[in-house]
């Protein structure tokens, strides 16, 4: 049976909401790139920051799934779950009620493993029902200690929009330091705030949304070199990445970090804390700089300051080489390549 002729259902517990309009965009992009397979797609369509939503979003997510995919005639050969737990329960419901022969594929994104250590009884039981595991990085796969029938390492992929990018020289760029992503504790927004006084001589642009937005906007009023631009779509981000001399990632935990890959696709080196995702992508002083998280928070901020100074001390030729290495690293993560590998995986699992 060929994957292109099979019915594929993709399930994600992520979805946009007012405070994070691009949440889940990497899964959405992958679904759109798989359009040749005509996959059905179920994601969290009712999503907001209200208390009511926090209490009821998963029951509504389940009822919506039952209405759209249990009480329907369409039959699926593959159910591909993004974010293993608790999203896996929808796939298991479909298997129990509609098609006991359905193949279940799971992509793990990070916290669906990190937050469930050690795994509980229900988590372990669900894991035994998965036919194919996909992990966002090698290090994330190593964190998963349960038995797996089949497993591969494959990130969600970055938009093909980033394939066509013209490199800009150091002198042509207008942004010194760029951050893109969720504005929350895990992404290190407290660290970014602590770093701002040490880089007051550099133009800093922060793109994203989240619970720390107000604090960052307040800091921007204190530091005129800081600009907070909110959440942006891929086309606008492409322009920001291209204009930035370096991209920073201050995450405490990061399974892969596709924004780092996007930045590098635009010929922008990355300075990042050493996480699973950063270690997967960044080769020290080749396409970026890694910062250890073994020290105190104060020492980490100092290390970031020194890394930025080191970036600024490079010769134009050294910086250009780092740009080229960054681009070469990111090319393997473009969606076209990822979708080709997914297509092969779907075909193999149906044999």
Candidate CATH numbers 3.40.50.2000, 3.90.180.10, 3.40.190.10, 1.10.10.10; the one for domain 3-157+334-350: 3.40.50.2000
pLDDT digits (tens, 9 = 90+) for 277-323: 999 999 988 999 999 999 899 999 999 999 999 999 999 999 999 99
The domain limits of the chain are 3-157+334-350, 160-331
Hey, CA dihedral for 314, 316, 318, 322, is it positive or negative?
positive
CB contact at 8 A, 183 and 213:
yes
pLDDT of 24 = 83
Order across the sheet with 132-135: list the strands: 40-43, 8-12, 78-82, 103-108, 132-135, 151-153
Question: What percentage of the chain carries pLDDT values higher than 90?
Answer: 87
**Is-contact 246 270, C-beta < 8 A?**
yes
DSSP string, 113-162: HHTTSS--HHHHHHHTT-SEEEESSHHHHHH--S--SSEEE----B-GGG
For 229-240, the pLDDT digits (tens) are 999 999 999 999
By C-alpha distance, which of 129, 133, 130 is closest to 143?
133
**Residue range 121-168, pLDDT digits in tens:** 999 999 999 999 999 999 999 999 999 989 999 998 999 999 999 999
3-157+334-350 against 160-331: fold identical: yes
> Which of 3.40.50.720, 3.40.50.970, 3.40.50.2000, 3.90.1150.10 is the CATH number of 160-331?
3.40.50.2000
Distances in Å between the Cα of 32 and the Cα atoms of 133, 160, 343 are: 21, 11, 14
């Amino acid at each position: 049976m060929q994957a292109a002729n099979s019915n594929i259902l993709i399930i994600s517990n992520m979805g946009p909401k007012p405070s994070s309009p691009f949440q889940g965009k990497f899964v959405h992009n992958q679904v759109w790139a798989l359009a040749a397979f005509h996959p059905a797609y179920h994601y969290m369509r009712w999503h907001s920051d209200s208390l009511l939503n926090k209490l009821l979003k998963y029951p509504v997510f389940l009822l919506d799934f039952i209405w759209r995919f249990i009480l329907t005639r369409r039959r699926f050969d593959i159910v591909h779950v993004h974010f293993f737990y608790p999203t896996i329960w929808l796939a298991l419901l479909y298997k129990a009620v509609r098609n006991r022969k359905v193949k279940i594929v799971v992509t793990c994104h990070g916290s669906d493993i990190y937050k469930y250590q050690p795994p509980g009884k229900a988590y372990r039981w669900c894991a035994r029902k998965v036919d194919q595991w996909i992990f966002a990085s090698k290090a994330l796969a190593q964190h998963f200690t349960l038995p797996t029938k089949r497993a591969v390492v494959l990130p969600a992929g970055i938009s093909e929009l980033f394939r066509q990018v013209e490199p800009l020289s150091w002198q042509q760029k207008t942004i010194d330091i760029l951050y893109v992503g969720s504005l929350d504790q895990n992404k290190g927004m407290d660290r970014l705030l602590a770093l701002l006084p040490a880089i007051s001589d550099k133009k800093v642009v922060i793109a994203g949304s989240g619970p720390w937005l107000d604090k960052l906007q307040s800091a921007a009023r204190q530091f005129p070199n800081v600009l907070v631009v909110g959440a942006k779509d891929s086309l606008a981000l492409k322009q920001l990445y291209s204009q930035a001399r370096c991209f920073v990632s201050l995450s405490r935990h990061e399974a892969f970090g596709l924004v780092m890959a996007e930045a590098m696709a635009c010929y922008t080196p990355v300075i990042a804390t050493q996480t699973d995702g950063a270690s997967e992508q960044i080769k020290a002083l080749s396409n970026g700089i890694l910062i250890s998280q073994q020290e105190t928070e104060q020492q980490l901020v100092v290390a970031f300051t020194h890394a930025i100074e080191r970036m600024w001390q490079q010769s134009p030729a050294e910086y250009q080489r780092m740009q080229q290495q960054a681009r070469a690293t990111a090319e393997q993560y473009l969606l076209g390549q990822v979708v080709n590998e997914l297509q092969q995986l779907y075909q193999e699992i149906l044999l």
